[in-house]
Structure 1
């Protein structure tokens, strides 16, 4: 029976035969951080009001046992997931995931309410990203937050946005790497509005106030996320793609593209190259929109692989932040994290193992026959042996061995939660 190392050496020889530097590919993969989202671990409830109902186009379905109910439980589950994922990564927090005994609202949060998260991340060599939470709150009124016609409502959310930036700055300073701080608001209308312009003017003005303070991108990179529509906001979304594209490019903010936030016939893999021409950075939320923005756990499907190919083929990896966004309460939540991050890494590895420059030369020569034949044949190359070696060299389980760990964790920890 061949060993992981022996299978790797045989596969490496094949890839090197077509001009691929396997060692460089593995080095790049090891250096690439995936931002693992906290909200898969507890079904997007958070700890500000854990018994509250989701709102704002947010819905997690299922009742699989073992969801985290406290910040400590969530960190415990994340620790287990990270122990089964190769490399060092980031953990992406929403504002509602504060960890404090103090009664505090979203317009009052401060860095001190996240000190336990920073201590945890620092001890493990992780980075932290952040998201203001513009949903699941009494001040989310009439389907509006920053674009609400009532100044009192807008001011509440503006203050929340400002404070979120300071928390993200704290993350970046404490952990020595920038925190991506993502703004997404659910402001929308269920039926056709008369005035589409005024809410967008209010949203623009609110954002301008939130971003009044200059914060170094050494610590915080503000990102802006658009959406086509949401549950209860099917007819009109204030923060449309055009709005955020214009706002981000004119205000020097990084645009975030979520794989589930476009029409069903659209894919973000086809948009990355265009955005890269006009923005020096971009961020992705990689999800799986089975029925539009259904946020399923990502699998090794065509679009995931095309996203990673596009990043690698364009030389955009250093400019692209990769985050995940899915929440499925019908399955083991730790397993969902591990499947998602490992699949993102696998897809990236496959892209890194492609002889891209040789294929580009065929394309420039209009040799489309060779391009087609070779790209199809390369799909059968033994990338799995390279992946197994990467996992082994990073000290995490190879193959299905990681799932045995999850099942043991479920029996010993998750099954005992109420």
Structure 2
């Protein structure tokens, strides 16, 4: 059977349980997933040549890492050809592009240093999301926005302010809102003597960053928490309680990264609670294996559950979805493609669920039928609908995309 014939059979099967597959496809086409640039070059960026810091590590040395903006853009292009649907590009401030002989530090970067990224995005109808880079810098060797050294703290405050101005530039140029996410690695390896002091300085730093004028309809500032990391196993200033309370009190958005919690916590369970108290929220979807290890996103239970919470709570327009992983042990374009396709596949899975019927079963206390129906849905022909969607979007069906990755590796990556 052809892809279309398989789809027609699947369409009838879903129709019998009240699911419109055509509508699911139309909806999915317009959900923008933000693709993180840092998978392509192992989070190195272009404004420094030192080691990674801030508890961030990449493992592996697979050949073909992007070393220049041009190489990174080419690799992103190759990935975009293999991924269906609407996309955004997620940049870190460390990916500023300077003219030959030019350099400026992070506290004085300007929109002009991202002009080439804007031109790139506009040519491809991509919005741009943004992140201040509070790591991998000589002034981030110990603390940033919590520093007791006022010169260092003010440096990073100016950096945050500069990034807000750049974020508004992105939004105005692309015509799409920019999500600007603040995350700092400040914390301690061992038991602290003072938790309040650093958090008070963090709060004051954020107040100063947000004191500059900006258009809140164009720039959505988000604040991301983390439970611990390498070198900060005992304490982080930006805990979940700190970031959620600060966001709620100051009118910005909370961002939840599903690798930034204790191992038994799941972000999918938190989404509904957050939506009750925030008009919009943001996510970084990743795959923690033992900790915040940022493995490639799979079509696994938690990814599917995150997508279901977004869809069944009618929150597609209220949740900004970005990915955040970096694996240097495998082909980086394949990693991007697997993760991006799996996030969209999870959204498709959620859109193909009879969500109102399932809610009705729960509300009426019919838990036996609910469990049965949820289990039966797992073997419905999602793949046939996904293949048809990919074909309609002009991207390879099933594993055919990997042939293009192998060809690109042979022709381009292996020559670097």
Q: Report the TM-score, using the length of structure 1 for normalisation.
A: 0.98
Report the Cα offset of residue 213 of structure 1: 1.9
Match of 1:297 in 2: 296
Q: Are residues 1:85 and 2:83 paired? A: yes
Report the Cα offset of residue 135 of structure 1: 0.3
Residues in 1 aligned to 2:247 and 2:19: alpha-carbon distance in whole angstroms:
37
Contact 1:178 1:217 in 2 (8 A): no
Residues in 2 aligned to 1:83 and 1:164: alpha-carbon distance in whole angstroms:
29
Contact 1:172 1:218 in 2 (8 A): no
Match of 2:96 in 1: 98
Residues in 2 aligned to 1:378 and 1:150: alpha-carbon distance in whole angstroms:
56
Residues in 2 aligned to 1:357 and 1:19: alpha-carbon distance in whole angstroms:
10
Report the Cα offset of residue 141 of structure 1: 3.5
Contact 1:130 1:179 in 2 (8 A): yes
Runs of 4+ more than 3 Å apart: none
Residues in 1 aligned to 2:214 and 2:389: alpha-carbon distance in whole angstroms:
37
Residues in 1 aligned to 2:145 and 2:312: alpha-carbon distance in whole angstroms:
38
How does 1:281-292 map onto structure 2 within 5 Å? 281-292=280-291
Contact 1:177 1:218 in 2 (8 A): no
Match of 2:258 in 1: 259
How many pairs does the alignment contain? Answer: 414
Q: Are residues 1:325 and 2:297 paired? A: no
Report the Cα offset of residue 177 of structure 1: 0.5
Residues in 2 aligned to 1:225 and 1:374: alpha-carbon distance in whole angstroms:
36
Q: Are residues 1:68 and 2:66 paired? A: yes
- After superposition, give the CA deviation of every residue in 1:276-320 in whole Å (9 maximum; x if it has no partner): 111110111000000110000011111111110111111111100
Match of 2:26 in 1: 27
Residues in 1 aligned to 2:291 and 2:107: alpha-carbon distance in whole angstroms:
32
How does 1:230-379 map onto structure 2 within 5 Å? 230-379=229-378
Structure 1 portions without partners, runs of 5+:
none
Residues in 2 aligned to 1:332 and 1:74: alpha-carbon distance in whole angstroms:
14
Structure 2 portions without partners, runs of 5+:
none
Residues in 1 aligned to 2:215 and 2:165: alpha-carbon distance in whole angstroms:
11
- After superposition, give the CA deviation of every residue in 1:69-128 in whole Å (9 maximum; x if it has no partner): 001110000000001101220010000001112211101100000000000100011111
Match of 1:119 in 2: 119
Report the Cα offset of residue 342 of structure 1: 0.2
Contact 2:53 2:141 in 1 (8 A): no
Match of 2:394 in 1: 395
Match of 1:5 in 2: 4
Report the Cα offset of residue 271 of structure 1: 0.5
Residues in 1 aligned to 2:199 and 2:360: alpha-carbon distance in whole angstroms:
45
Aligned CA-pair RMSD: 0.7
Report the Cα offset of residue 170 of structure 1: 0.4
Residues in 2 aligned to 1:103 and 1:316: alpha-carbon distance in whole angstroms:
42
Report the Cα offset of residue 15 of structure 1: 0.4
